[in-house]
């Protein structure tokens, strides 16, 4: 994990928020490569979950909502973790994540057994709306994106003119005042979620739970996370939320252990019923064919953007021995991202930076490719070093403009470039005219 954290900082994937002021625990910033990676992940999720489907529409809700949303959903009363204080070292800890010694909870920091009794700590960030900081102005930063979907269910049903089963999807920030943020971005206080609420008839819920679990596993495969690194954990009924008739956690083999990436839960009609009761507004669905009126049930695949980004980086990280230009073996660090996720799709290199013809041709190729994909032009240093820099950034393809390209070695290869593939390091010659379509085929 240390190597991954250091690569992330060194290459500008992820860095501490407010670093020059000593940081803010549980908050992270994504640098140039991290921001691209995150965007690629969110765009692909949106494409799979919304654009490629007839039965799902998207929404983008506000982060601040009426406090009553959180009263009705149960978050104000019960969205808490059990917290203990260590009387010895004064650490605040999450009671359910502590090691035990002789049947007693032990402080994870100093090992003391002298801990207070657990008490509930609400994870929502409280804030005030407007100029007066009194009870009537209180609301919270949303701890999940799902509730905006539930409270807009009726409006969206009307405008989207969908029939059950259908879903509403959303990507957005969520905030939880976690007691112990840790494991890099895995447990943050500010993070993003990608959530789908898929509404259905009561009798369809259990089958759709299985369907969505399969769909979501397919998604991870399609972003390059191999099934060997994933685990499906079926939550035993006694541990499920009281309203859930079935929940799966999709877990990933992180360097710090197997941990949840996504929850897929059959939440019955709990959320809509709660909001219907509390708001006094009907959230029922009317079935034209059967003339039945009922509150739909819902299946929810809920994934974390930041956790998945971290999983993508962990899954991609590899170190191998490879010869440098002089044939000497050295360690090559490569991020083997699926081309779909890679922040930069193609590096473009003139063999020499002081040859005007090579540079002009390379710049021309940048111009051709740039409207279609993220490319990176690099003319500095030996070509082998430029390849290595892109290997570390996870760039799947490198295009080199050499003397053959500009016709200085005869007409045979004029107008062609070499493409180097990151993982195999194999090179092939292709005509510049075919470059765009060839790369587009390979990065999608």
Least spacing, CB of residue 289 vs ligand ATP, in Å: 35
Contact call for residue 30 and ligand ATP (CB under 6 A): no
Q: Which of 68, 53, 272 is nearest to 152 (CA)?
A: 272
* Burial class, 168, CB count within 10 angstroms (exposed 0-12 / middle 13-18 / buried 19+): buried
Contact call for residue 304 and ligand ATP (CB under 6 A): yes
Residue with tokens 């992940």: 41
Least spacing, CB of residue 185 vs ligand ATP, in Å: 7
What is d(CA 271, CA 280) in angstroms, rounded to the nearest whole number?
14
Q: Which of 230, 263, 266 is nearest to 249 (CA)?
A: 263
**Which are the contacts of 362, defined by CB distance < 8 A and separation ≥ 6?**
348, 349, 350, 377, 379, 401
Alpha helices in 370-427 (DSSP H): 383-393
CA 168 to chain centroid: 18
Residues 187, 245, 267, 420: which binds ligand ATP (CB under 6 A)?
Answer: 187
Residue with tokens 């004064």: 90
Contact call for residue 75 and ligand ATP (CB under 6 A): no
Residues 36, 197, 306, 379: which binds ligand ATP (CB under 6 A)?
Answer: 306
Size of site (CB under 6 A) for ligand ATP: 16
State the angle between helix axes of 305-316 and 32-46 in degrees (0 to 180), rounded to the nearest 10.
110
Residues 191, 219, 270, 285: which binds ligand ATP (CB under 6 A)?
Answer: 191
Least spacing, CB of residue 182 vs ligand ATP, in Å: 10
8 A C-beta contact, residue 71 and residue 124: no
What is d(CA 363, CA 355) in angstroms, rounded to the nearest whole number?
12
Residues 85, 178, 253, 421: which binds ligand ATP (CB under 6 A)?
Answer: 178
Nearer to ligand ATP, 272 or 303 (CB): 303
Nearer to ligand ATP, 230 or 369 (CB): 230
Q: Does residue 181 have a cis bond before it (omega within 30 degrees)?
A: no
Least spacing, CB of residue 246 vs ligand ATP, in Å: 14
Q: Which of 223, 301, 299 is nearest to 260 (CA)?
A: 301
Binding region for ligand ATP (CB under 6 A) out of 227-235, 254-262, 374-382, 383-391: 254-262
CA dihedral of 58, 60, 66, 72, whole degrees rounded to 10: 30
Q: Which single residue brings its beta carbon nearest to ligand ATP?
A: 304
Rg (CA), the chain: 26
Nearer to ligand ATP, 13 or 376 (CB): 13
What is d(CA 375, CA 345) in angstroms, rounded to the nearest whole number?
6
Residues 40, 122, 188, 268: which binds ligand ATP (CB under 6 A)?
Answer: 188
Nearer to ligand ATP, 85 or 260 (CB): 260
Contact call for residue 361 and ligand ATP (CB under 6 A): no
End-to-end Cα, the chain, rounded Å: 29
What is d(CA 102, CA 373) in angstroms, rounded to the nearest whole number?
58
CB atoms within 10 A of CB 91: 17
What is d(CA 355, CA 349) in angstroms, rounded to the nearest whole number?
12
Residues 165, 167, 246, 263: which binds ligand ATP (CB under 6 A)?
Answer: 263
Nearer to ligand ATP, 302 or 400 (CB): 302
* 26 strand-pairing partners: none
Residues 36, 251, 262, 284: which binds ligand ATP (CB under 6 A)?
Answer: 262
Nearer to ligand ATP, 251 or 402 (CB): 251
Letters for 121-160 (x = contact with ligand ATP by CB under 6 A, - = none) are -----------------------x----------------
Residues 307, 345, 388, 420: which binds ligand ATP (CB under 6 A)?
Answer: 307
Nearer to ligand ATP, 305 or 369 (CB): 305
Least spacing, CB of residue 262 vs ligand ATP, in Å: 5
8 A C-beta contact, residue 324 and residue 384: yes
Contact call for residue 260 and ligand ATP (CB under 6 A): yes
Letters for 284-303 (x = contact with ligand ATP by CB under 6 A, - = none) are ------------------xx
8 A C-beta contact, residue 246 and residue 264: no
Contact call for residue 246 and ligand ATP (CB under 6 A): no
Contact call for residue 176 and ligand ATP (CB under 6 A): yes
Contacting positions for ligand ATP (CB under 6 A): 144, 176, 178, 187-188, 191, 193, 260-263, 302-304, 306-307
């Amino acid at each position: 994990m240390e190597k991954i954290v250091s690569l992330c900082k060194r290459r500008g994937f992820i860095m501490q928020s407010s670093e020059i002021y000593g940081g803010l625990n549980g908050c992270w910033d994504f640098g140039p490569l991290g921001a691209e990676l995150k965007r690629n992940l969110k765009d692909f999720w949106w494409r799979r979950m919304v654009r490629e489907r007839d039965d799902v529409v998207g929404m983008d809700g506000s982060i601040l909502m009426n406090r009553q949303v959180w009263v009705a959903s149960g978050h104000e009363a019960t969205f808490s973790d059990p917290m203990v204080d260590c009387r010895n070292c004064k650490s605040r800890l999450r009671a359910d994540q502590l090691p035990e010694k002789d049947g007693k909870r032990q402080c994870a920091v100093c090992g003391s057994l002298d801990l207070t009794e657990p008490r509930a700590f609400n994870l929502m960030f409280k804030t005030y709306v407007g100029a007066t900081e009194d009870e009537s102005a209180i609301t919270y930063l949303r701890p999940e994106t799902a509730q905006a979907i539930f409270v807009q269910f009726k409006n969206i049903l009307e405008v989207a003119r969908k029939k059950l089963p259908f879903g509403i999807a959303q990507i957005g920030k969520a905030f939880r005042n976690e007691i112990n943020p840790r494991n890099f971005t895995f447990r943050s206080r500010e993070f993003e979620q990608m959530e789908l609420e898929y509404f259905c008839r009561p009798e369809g819920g259990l089958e759709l739970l299985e369907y969505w679990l399969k769909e979501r596993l397919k998604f991870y495969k399609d972003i390059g996370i191999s099934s060997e690194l994933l685990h499906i954990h079926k939550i035993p009924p006694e541990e499920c939320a009281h309203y859930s008739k079935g929940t799966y956690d999709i877990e990933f083999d992180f360097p710090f252990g197997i941990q949840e990436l996504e929850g897929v839960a059959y939440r019955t009609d709990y959320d809509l019923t709660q909001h219907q009761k509390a708001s006094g507004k009907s959230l029922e669905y009317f079935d034209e064919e059967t003339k039945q009126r009922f509150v739909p049930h819902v299946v929810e695949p809920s994934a974390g953007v930041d956790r998945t980004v971290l999983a993508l980086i962990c899954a991609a990280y590899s170190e191998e021995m490879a010869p440098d230009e002089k044939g000497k073996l050295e360690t090559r660090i490569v991020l083997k991202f699926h081309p779909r996720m890679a922040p930069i799709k193609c590096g473009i290199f003139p063999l020499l930076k002081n040859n005007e013809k090579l540079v002009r041709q390379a710049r021309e190729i940048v111009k051709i490719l740039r409207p279609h994909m993220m490319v990176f032009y690099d003319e500095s240093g030996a070509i082998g070093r430029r390849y290595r820099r892109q290997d570390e950034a996870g760039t799947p393809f490198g295009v080199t403009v050499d003397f053959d390209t500009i016709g200085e070695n005869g007409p045979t290869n004029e107008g062609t470039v070499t493409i180097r593939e990151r993982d195999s390091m194999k090179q092939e010659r292709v005509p510049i005219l075919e470059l765009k379509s060839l790369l587009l085929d390979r990065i999608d």
